[in-house]
A = this chain, B = another copy of it.
């Protein structure tokens, strides 16, 4: 056992972390293309300080692949349905390679039709959502995405869990700066953050979840073991979570958060649902000044005393990572090297 404390940190260049994660994915049964998409996503989350979706997720990916629950070599099937509509059957694989397979066509359609929808079904999403939308904003487009997950949230006014954490992510260009990007679970807290708190033995703030008896609790373990999360913002967050189920599952042809059964796949962690992405081309708007207007809004937000824009922390962490490398604990790095079969 190492004498180093759990908090000792290591730094890795982004490309090096990405390559290490890529080797892990391939070693545990994904194709090169799938490893590309997942390693980029996961390394990006770690780089940007979004630790609940960073290397913390790797053991879950590995145990899921080992369980046979997800097809790490699935070839997504892209269908061009209409001038603004693409369907992708992820074939039981991950959602990110499905998006990657259709991204070019989606951008082309959004620019031509003014708006386009990408409806992915039969897909597994186990990652942060903002890396899916941010690239559209970097290309001058506005993007909105929703993905449903697995039953762990009690609808407002109900007794038992039904919805997933069902995040909504949004990205828009902003003149003279990084895009405006947010990614929010419609649950009071992201599932990964509850797991991290449980691991650290920390109590949660009030109002995050209930125990197995449906009673309010601040104990993350009680939420994870038979309990459930609550939606954020009461009945409004709950309605948004319902909307995510409708858009990401009913509309795409994917499973609702409560529909899949992974009991025959011990170790499986990835929700097998669907994802919807809507991309709008602001060049179609009057005067084509979206990015400048978005800048004006941000300026005014600072003017009324806002210290930090939504998503700004990620950009700061990204800059820091560019200077000193991506931070992870020594323990995590050792675990990754072991999973890569390299020590």
* Stretch of A18-26, A45-53, A233-241 contacting B (4+ beta carbons < 8 Å): A233-241
Give the A interface residue count (CB, 8 A).
Answer: 74
- Which residue, A114, A300, A308, has most C-beta atoms of chain B within 10 A? A114
| Chain A contacts with B in 273-292, Cβ cutoff 8 A | 278, 280-282, 284-287, 289-290
CB-CB < 8 A to A251: which residues of B? 142, 280, 282, 285, 290
A150 within 8 Å of B by Cβ? Answer: no
Whether A113 and B83, one on each chain, are in contact in the complex, defined by CB atoms closer than 8 angstroms, is yes
Whether A172 and B304, one on each chain, are in contact in the complex, defined by CB atoms closer than 8 angstroms, is no
CB-CB < 8 A to A117: which residues of B? 114-115, 280
Q: A157-B307, A237-B233 are in contact. Are A84 and B83 (CB under 8 A)?
A: yes
**CA of A27 to CA of B232 in the docked complex: distance in angstroms?**
46
Q: A142-B246, A246-B172, A256-B300 are in contact. Are A158 and B305 (CB under 8 A)?
A: yes
Whether A116 and B84, one on each chain, are in contact in the complex, defined by CB atoms closer than 8 angstroms, is yes
Interface residues of A (CB under 8 A from B): 81-85, 87, 89, 112-117, 119, 121, 142, 154-155, 157-162, 168, 170, 172, 180, 182, 184, 232-240, 242-243, 245-247, 249-253, 256, 258, 278, 280-282, 284-287, 289-290, 293-294, 296-297, 300-301, 303-308, 310
